[in-house]
Amino acid sequence: MATVALRADERIDQLYSKDIQIIQSATVFSFSLDAVLLGAFATVSRAAKTRIVDLCAGNGAVGLFVSGQTNGQITAVELQPRLADMATRSIQLNDLSERMTVLNQDLLTVTDTIAKDSVDVVLCNPPYFKDQPTSQKNPNPHLAIARHELSANLDQILAVTSDLLKMNGKAYFVHRPERLDDLFAAMAQHRLAPKRIRFVHPKADREANMVLIEMIKDGKPNGVRVVPPVIVYAADGTYREEVRHLLYGE
């Protein structure tokens, strides 16, 4: 792996199962389990002609995690310059510069750079929370933008997703179950049909706190599959086998 410079508040973490190193910072952004689960949930073609876009890319985690599944080109789109720089250096760190690039750009203007109807797969781990006057937001602007819909809301993100995708192209999102009504409404509005859903539960006796969704542009209605859930922790608080394997490759 290449050597890259780190800022004082940065560290290098490793997703051992994928042999991927990634630059993290508690000050501005660190990926969490949702990014790992989304990368594992996504189905990406091995073909070199495959074109993949990771929206709301943060430090590039999801794109990096799927990079081993494909020989195609991956473009990470990130609004915040600091996070885009972290993603760029993480790509260099993993010797992936020939196949991965970062656009430090507002996703709402990304079709000025990436042609409409040209992308095979869109990946997205978007902000989960609506921007409401009463909502508590993190005083750290980097974290607030990552968690709240301050720069783009769910409807806008799905509109851009649809614009980017080829007909029958696929998108993979992770979100909160309480936003499913918003997700389904916006997907229907923007020619995206849900095809596969997987809920994520912290423990077997707890309600789901995440949901993974596969959608297809201009897909036929109905035929939605709800596959068996991910259960993160066993009763004793240790990772269950599937999650442990995704994190450590054991």
149 has pLDDT over 60: no
Tokens of 136: 């508590």
109 has pLDDT over 60: yes
177 has pLDDT over 50: yes
pLDDT exceeding 70 applies to what percent of the chain? 91
Q: Is the dihedral angle over the CA atoms 64, 65, 71, 77 positive or is it negative?
A: negative
What gap in Å lies between CA 72 and CA 100, rounded to an integer?
A: 9
Per-residue model confidence as pLDDT tens digits over 191-209: 999 999 999 999 999 999 9
The answer to whether the CB of 39 falls within 8 A of the CB of 31 is no
CATH topology of domain 10-248: Rossmann fold (3.40.50)
| 155 SS3 class | helix
Among candidate residues 59, 50, 57, 71, the one with its CA nearest the CA of residue 24: 59
Least confident of 9-18, 140-149, 183-192, 193-202: 140-149
Using CA atoms of 104, 123, 111, 217 in order, give the dihedral in degrees to the nearest 10: -170
What integer is the mean pLDDT of 162-172? Answer: 98
What integer is the mean pLDDT of 73-98? Answer: 97
User: At 148, is the pLDDT very low, low, confident or very high (cuts 50, 70, 90)?
Assistant: very low
pLDDT at 2: 82
| Cα atoms found within 13 Å of the Cα of residue 20, Cβ hemisphere only | 28
Compute the mean pLDDT over every residue in the chain, rounded to the nearest whole number: 92
Domain ranges of the chain: 10-248
146 has pLDDT over 50: no
Which residues on neighbouring strands pair with residue 157, listed in sequence order? Answer: none
5 has pLDDT over 70: yes
Which residues on neighbouring strands pair with residue 12, listed in sequence order? Answer: 23
